[in-house]
Amino acid sequence: MPEDLTPSPAPANSAPWEARRPPRGRGLLRKLATLLVIGSLVALVIQAMSPRPVDVEVGVVKPGPLTVFVSEEGKTRIRNRYVVAAPLAGSMQRVTLKPGDVVKVGETVLTRIEPGMAPLLDARTKAQALARVSAATATKNRVQEALEMARTGLRYAQTNWERIKNNTDKGTISDTDRDAFEREAEMKSREVRAAEFELQVAAFELAQAQAALLQLEKPDSNGAMIELKAPVNGVVLRVQQESATIVSPGTPILELGDPADLEVEAEILSRDAVNIQPGAEVMIEQWGGEAVTGRVRRIEPAAFTKVSALGVEEQRVLVLSDFNKNSPDIKALGDRFRVEVRVAVWRKDDALLVPAGALFRVGSEWKTFLFDHGKARAQTVEAGRSDGRLTQVLGGLQTGDEVLLHPPDTVEDGSEVVKRQSK
- Asked whether residue 209 carries a pLDDT value surpassing 90, the answer given is no
- Asked whether residue 46 carries a pLDDT value surpassing 80, the answer given is no
pTM: 0.57
224: DSSP letter:
G
259: DSSP letter:
T
CA distance linking residue 174 with residue 157, whole number of Å: 18
- Asked whether residue 11 carries a pLDDT value surpassing 60, the answer given is no
What pLDDT is recorded for position 214?
Answer: 64
CB atoms inside a 10 Å sphere around CB 364: 5
Give 345-401 pLDDT, tens digit per residue. 998 999 999 999 999 999 889 999 999 888 899 999 999 999 889 999 999 999 999
Q: DSSP of 375-420, one letter per residue?
A: EEEEEEEEEEEE-SSEEEEEES--TT-EEEES--TT--TT-BEEEP
Q: Which helix (H) or strand (E) holds 292?
A: strand 292-299
What pLDDT is recorded for position 356?
Answer: 92
First-residue to last-residue Cα distance in the chain: 65
Beta bridge partners, 379, equal 368
Average the pLDDT over each of 99-103, 128-132, 292-296, 393-397 and give the range with the smallest value: 128-132
Most confident of 83-92, 144-153, 297-306: 297-306
CA distance linking residue 355 with residue 345, whole number of Å: 20
- Asked whether residue 220 carries a pLDDT value surpassing 50, the answer given is no
Mean pLDDT of the chain: 83
Q: Are strands 365-372 and 304-307 parallel, antiparallel or unpaired?
A: unpaired
The answer to whether the CB of 156 falls within 8 A of the CB of 250 is: no
Overall average pLDDT of the 56-62 stretch: 91
CA distance linking residue 257 with residue 80, whole number of Å: 6
Q: DSSP of 300-347, one letter per residue?
A: -S--EEEE-TTS-EEEEEEEEEEESS--GGGGG--TT-EEEEEEEEEE
Q: Which helix (H) or strand (E) holds 72?
A: strand 62-78
Q: Which residue has the higher pLDDT, 211 or 294?
A: 294
What pLDDT is recorded for position 211?
Answer: 74
Instruction: Tell which residue, 188, 192, 202, has the closest CA to residue 141.
Output: 202
Give 249-265 pLDDT, tens digit per residue. 999 999 999 888 899 99
CA distance linking residue 131 with residue 206, whole number of Å: 11
Across 167-290, the runs of DSSP E, i.e. the strands, are: 226-229, 234-239, 245-247, 252-257, 262-269, 281-285
Beta-carbon contacts of 41 under 8 Å, excluding residues fewer than 6 positions away, are none
CA distance linking residue 389 with residue 354, whole number of Å: 9
- Asked whether residue 50 carries a pLDDT value surpassing 50, the answer given is yes
Residue 368 CA to its chain's centroid (Å): 41
- Asked whether residue 219 carries a pLDDT value surpassing 50, the answer given is no
Q: Residue 273: which pLDDT band, with cuts at 50, 70 and 90?
A: very high
